[in-house]
Amino acid sequence: MDTAQLTQSLWNFLQPYLPLLLTEAAKAGGKRVPDAVSRAWQLLTARWAKKPAAAEALEDLRRAPDDADFQAAVRAQVKKLLAADPALAGQLAALVPAPATSYHAELHGSGAIAQGTGATVVGERGVFIGGNASGNTIITGDGDKTED
């Protein structure tokens, strides 16, 4: 996973717990935060303490956790930290679940959509044959003239 992907995965992993992590509640009631989240947060904040810009970004986020600009500043500090410290990046990658694959598609009118490994698609009036169909007549259009 590259630095940008790890940064985004780490942020997605930590974000639901930020209200606790940014307050003393995380220390008092750490059982509400999963161990992997707590460990990842500890690894990050231990490094941030040594970097004034990161410490400032974190303090801004503590004061206004819903501020998108402050969140972006913290993500930028995470990205810099991961890029500068491959060992830390490896430790954090081991804690963060692999990103889930997600798909999005829109279909307007006739047609078909297939997404993901092994997906199969058959469009309008199409025929999918997963095995041998020799000797069969397959009609997919209008005006069938075969006799019953």
Domain segments of the chain as ranges: 3-95
Whole-angstrom distance, CA of residue 79 vs CA of residue 7: 6
Tens of pLDDT along 19-49?
Answer: 888 886 555 554 578 889 989 999 998 988 8
Give the count of alpha carbons within 13 A of 19, CB side only. Answer: 3
Tens of pLDDT along 52-111?
Answer: 999 899 999 989 988 999 999 999 999 999 999 999 999 999 998 876 667 777 877 777
